[in-house]
A and B are shown apart, each in its own frame.
Chain A
Amino acid sequence: MPSGKSSKAVRNARSVVTSTKPKPWGTVAAVLAVLVFAGGIFYYLFTRYEDRRAYTPTADNRDPSTQIEGVVTQDYGEANRGHVGPDKRVAYDHSPPFGGPHDATWAACNGEVYETAVRNENMVHALEHGAVWITYNPDNVTGPALQSLRDRVQGQNHLMLSPYPGLDSPISLQSWGHQLKLTDPADKRIDQFIQSLRLNQYTYPEIGASCDALTGVFDPAMPPPFVAEPPGPDAVPMNFAGGLDLEPGDGTTPPPGG
């Protein structure tokens, strides 16, 4: 305790002792009560306002997810977004993937809760459309924890949930060029990630693209299944940009860099 403070307290205390008036603890308590009340209102509004402000993308703060601890980013550039056919596989650089070449058809992503694991190539296309993809390890996340993830996704635009067998953490969040792995379904970084990146006009490539499935082309009730085996040497390389120079999956050695 600083000595200045204590000597002041001694002085005050002596005054109280020498005074004949009753100690003013009632007044002090009343003042404290008012202060606690005012401080409570301030704190409540401040945290709500701060969270909304801090994680909303703006022209000056284009990627608020940089403030979230643990987010892994990867710049997939302008060109590495070639479309592949339904029989092809892409040699993705992350698991689960969060960018790169993808199937010509995107997975439905308007609050879609997939009960079975879905083919990566379709899910990555949905990320290109501004969706956030929540994955969980079906061995670790069950019961109420899984239900809380379902509740988070159901009825929400540009959010989708699917199991991801063999996932190296209980939960993983993906957005185009961004990934966050976590263990707790109540982790507040989940909301921060979604708020920062879902439909963020500065981070997803195809502004305005849809999350609806085209009838006859993609059926959310029977999505193309996830393939657990790692892709073989005939897989489409990460720098496949489409076009005439390189046919998807023809085994051509990709140009360096990309």
Chain B
Amino acid sequence: MNHTVAETIIETGQGGVGPRSAEAPAGAPRPAARWTRLVVVAGAVLAVLLLGAALGMSLQRGLGAAAQPEGGAVDVGFAQDMSVHHRQAVLMAGLARDRSADPAIRSIAFDIETSQLEQVGRMQGWLSLWNAAPVPTGRYMTWMTDPAMPGMTHGSGPGTAGVATMPGMASPADLERLRASGGTQFDVLFLQLMLRHHQGGVPMATYTAQHAETAQVRNLAEKIVISQGAESEYLAQLITQRGAQPLPPPS
């Protein structure tokens, strides 16, 4: 297309007088040569820029991944303590999945077991990237230092002193009773222990949803509050359907 346009122009150019050709001073590079050089240089510069941009784009992801975020005290504390808390739920749910004859119980148990184990995997992965210990040393919940938070106002507010046992955790005696029971008695005890366990995890998750530094940690904590809240409603429903009462909520 350029070609035809140029040819048309050449024709009209030939028709007119050529005063412009006289403008080119003798000895200077001919306009045609200058034009060619300009095209070559501009083309080369453009090509280099395009290839450089393409290279930069493919490298960017690798470079971006090199900057490793650090977890703050709340992020690390939550990931460590909630790993421990979740693992007991996984243990109890695994028992119920194996032992219960009731499809409703087996189903909710399998749901809790698989989700919480996956979440433990997430939290352990973060701790590993943050170069933090996979489990806490000493007492739990020492990272919940803001006393203005819900769940911390009543006596159990751990503060910097922490607690020896997290709220909602089943005691060794509870677990012994669960293992020793069978039939409907097992089903009800499992539901009661799991409901109390879910309720006990809420203060830690609520605190983290508001105080963690990492967006992904805050998001997980928030989803735990919401999901376990919905699950707790269902567990309570299953308990009453079996003519029993929930245990007193953890204090």
Contact = CB atoms under 8 A, between A and B. Distances in A.
A46 B35 CA distance: 31
A209 B237 CA distance: 21
A201 interface: yes
A34 to B, nearest CB: 5
A41 B106 contact: no
Contacts of B153: none
A217 B107 contact: yes
Interface residues of A, number: 56
Contacts of B46: 35, 38
Interface in A1-53: 6, 9-19, 21, 23-25, 27-28, 31-32, 34-35, 37-39, 41-42, 45-46, 49
B243 to A, nearest CB: 13
Given A34-B43, A35-B46, A217-B103, A209 B36 contact: no
A135 B121 CA distance: 32
Interface string B1-35: 00101100110111000101100100000111101
Given A41-B51, A217-B106, A10 B9 contact: yes
A236 B226 CA distance: 21
A106 B106 CA distance: 12
Interface stretch (A146-154, A184-192, A237-245): A237-245
B43 A202 contact: no
A180 B222 CA distance: 27
Interface in A187-218: 201-202, 205-210, 212, 214, 216-217
Contacts of A85: 104
B54 A78 contact: no
Nearest to A247: B237
Contact of A9 (B5, B216, B234): B5
B176 interface: no
A204 to B, nearest CB: 9
B237 A243 contact: yes
A31 B224 CA distance: 60
B57 A214 contact: no
Interface residues of B, number: 62
B161 interface: no
Contacts of B196: none
Contact of B236 (A45, A49, A216, A243): A243
A208 B234 contact: no
B219 A15 contact: no
A145 interface: no
A59 interface: yes
A81 interface: yes
Contacts of A104: 104, 107-108, 234
Interface in B208-251: 215-216, 219-220, 223-224, 226-227, 229-230, 233-234, 236-237, 240
Contact of A38 (B14, B40, B50, B122): B50
B51 A17 contact: no
Contacts of A49: 57-58
Nearest to A104: B107
Interface in A40-89: 41-42, 45-46, 49, 59, 78-79, 81-83, 85
A209 B9 contact: no
A26 B15 CA distance: 27
A120 interface: no
B18 A14 contact: yes
Given A15-B32, A59-B215, A214-B97, A207 B50 contact: no
Interface in A90-141: 104-106
B220 A201 contact: yes
B91 interface: no
Interface stretch (B75-83, B110-118, B130-138): B110-118
Contacts of A14: 10, 13, 18, 20-21
A241 B18 contact: no
A59 B103 CA distance: 38
B118 A42 contact: no
Contacts of A23: 32
Interface of A: 6, 9-19, 21, 23-25, 27-28, 31-32, 34-35, 37-39, 41-42, 45-46, 49, 59, 78-79, 81-83, 85, 104-106, 201-202, 205-210, 212, 214, 216-217, 241-244
16 contacts: A15-B21, A16-B6, A17-B10, A32-B43, A34-B47, A38-B46, A38-B47, A42-B54, A205-B227, A207-B118, A207-B224, A209-B115, A214-B97, A214-B107, A217-B106, A243-B233
Closest 8 pairs between A and B when the two form their complex, measured CB to CB: A208-B118, A210-B114, A59-B215, A31-B43, A243-B233, A15-B31, A242-B233, A38-B47
